[in-house]
Chain A
Amino acid sequence: MAIITISRQLGSGGDEAAKLLAKETGFTLVDKARIETLAGEQGLSGPEVDQMAEDAGRAWATNRVVHVDLVQELILNLASEEDLIILGHGGQFIFRGFPGSLHVRIIANRPIRIRRVVEAFQVDEAEASRLLERSDADRGAYIRYHYGEDVEEPSHYDLVIRTDAISPAEAAHLIIQASEVMELKVKGKDLQGWLEGTWGREEARRLTGIPAFAHPSEEEFARVLDFYRIRWVYEPRAFALAWDKEGRITEAFTPDFYLPDLDLYIELTTLKQDLVTEKNRKIRRLKELYPEVKLKVFYGRDFRSLLTKYGSSEVKKKEDPK
């Protein structure tokens, strides 16, 4: 999918250019309103959604995990289905390095920005000046806080448009030309491949909403991890445990989850006791052969009590046919 990100100063006409661009190209505009709608659909409360805005007086700083990770997830999920124009929200960093992306910065000189804000908000020059300062500070802080970058730094962008003498419609036209010259739609065909290269296969599947589980207990566990915003990868690695004379692998063990931030593998064992014995042997062997690997095993009983505490009686039933 093709992605155009637009970072803009207040009073630069960037919002209007983005709207016109969406109209001309048919790309989906991801602005504050769209993010709020998506977040609302995810079960976040109204005040929480309000806090996600870049200009919410830094309320996002109270809950980075929700406000930046969820925004990323929502946008990536959408990008797997539609061409997007992303207005603000760190889009230039979410899609940094994606071949099908065009990153645009829209600016204007301060006197012109002040004049536009005076007109748009019906305020005096002093108030317009204050609004500009607050907006610049908030947007700058949002990017610095979540991505550790300077939003003003030109090297983040493919195209910087100064709108002192360029109308929003002309800016939109320039962006369309740039996207055509760059063949965004062609280069952006393999979003999934780029995501997998950048985030890992299962994380990419998770971010784009592709289900990956065969077993309800694994899905439930992943949901618990998601709830606490802990990154996970599903069955990322098979550890060889035995080889034949020719060196071919005859036995391997694939833990269910890997938590990259904790460098920890997790195995959920929900089988009957006689099968657990066999699995325990494999786990012992794995620990002998790969002593550096951190593996945590949750046995049926532990795992069920873990989920029971969280009230997941449904999984308990499915797990335990007896």
Chain B
Amino acid sequence: MLDDIQEVLIEAEAIQKRVKELGEEISRNYAGRDLLLAGVLRGAAIFLVDLARAISLPVEMDFIAISSYGPSTKTSGVVSIRKDLDDSIADKDVLLVEDIVDTGLTLGYLLRILQARQPKSLQVVALLDKPARRIVEHPIAYKGFEIPDKFVVGYGLDYKQKYRNLPFIGTLKPEVFAR
């Protein structure tokens, strides 16, 4: 797996340090409140479990998955929920946990549907921000790293469902895409 890596953009240690900082900041800001971490499957799974352990509050954890646009999407297909949150978020302080924000299209959809459920508050924590590709802007309250417009894998992010278990964020060698 490591042979497929072109370049390591963010080392594992740097990620852990930043996740710890985010956890501390979130712990301070949400002290005395009921915080629910809502992770977006599958990319945010690894980030969410590390982040949750860096938060010193008794948080709830839940997950949501939505369909994504792809080659098999029908002409008039629309985004939809593949796996919904298990519990109601009404009147809860919700932190939507994303692995990466790039175009902002997925995030925009998630914020729209979650906001409609009337949480007490709804904010976003994203490990990675790729602003070069942004189409739709949304406020990201907690941001891990800003990255250049490169296709990255690792720490939850995949290429064809692989490489999520890399402990760092990196890019793939061009020949991997040609396989």
Contacts and interface: CB of A to CB of B under 8 A. Distances in A.
A272 interface: no
B151 A65 contact: no
Most buried by B among A62, A63, A264, A296: A63
A64 B116 contact: yes
B117 interface: yes
Nearest to B85: A62
Contacts of A123: none
Given A64-B116, A227-B73, A266 B78 contact: no
A230 B108 contact: yes
A314 to B, nearest CB: 8
Size bracket of the A interface: 20 to 34
A66 B105 contact: no
A66 B80 contact: yes
Interface in B83-109: 84, 102-103, 105-106, 108-109
B113 A62 contact: yes
B80 A63 contact: yes
Given A43-B77, A226-B76, A227-B78, A310 B84 contact: no
Nearest to B67: A227
B136 interface: yes
Interface in A55-72: 61-66, 70
A61 B118 CA distance: 11
B102 to A, nearest CB: 8
Contacts of B149: 302, 305
A65 B77 contact: no
A313 B135 CA distance: 21
B79 interface: yes
A276 interface: no
A42 B76 contact: yes
Contacts of B81: 62-63
B71 interface: yes
Contact of B136 (A61, A226, A262, A302): A262
A306 interface: yes
Interface string B98-138: 00001101101100110011000000000000001111110
Most buried by A among B77, B112, B135: B135
B79 A296 contact: no
Given A61-B117, A306-B103, A229 B69 contact: no
A312 B73 CA distance: 10
Most buried by B among A43, A66, A228, A306: A228
B151 A305 contact: yes
A61 B105 contact: no
A226 B75 CA distance: 9
A216 interface: no
A139 B106 CA distance: 30
B74 interface: yes
B113 A311 contact: no
Contacts of B151: 305, 309
A229 B109 contact: yes
A229 B71 contact: no
A303 to B, nearest CB: 10
Interface in A18-53: 42-45, 48
B70 interface: yes
A223 interface: yes
Contacts of A45: 80
B113 A228 contact: no
Contact of B105 (A63, A65, A224, A312): A224
Interface of A: 42-45, 48, 61-66, 70, 223-230, 259, 262, 264, 266, 296, 302, 305-306, 309-314
Instruction: List 4 A-B pairs, minimum CB-CB distance, nearest first.
Output: A43-B74, A311-B71, A228-B105, A227-B69
Interface of B: 68-71, 73-81, 84, 102-103, 105-106, 108-109, 112-113, 116-117, 132-137, 149, 151
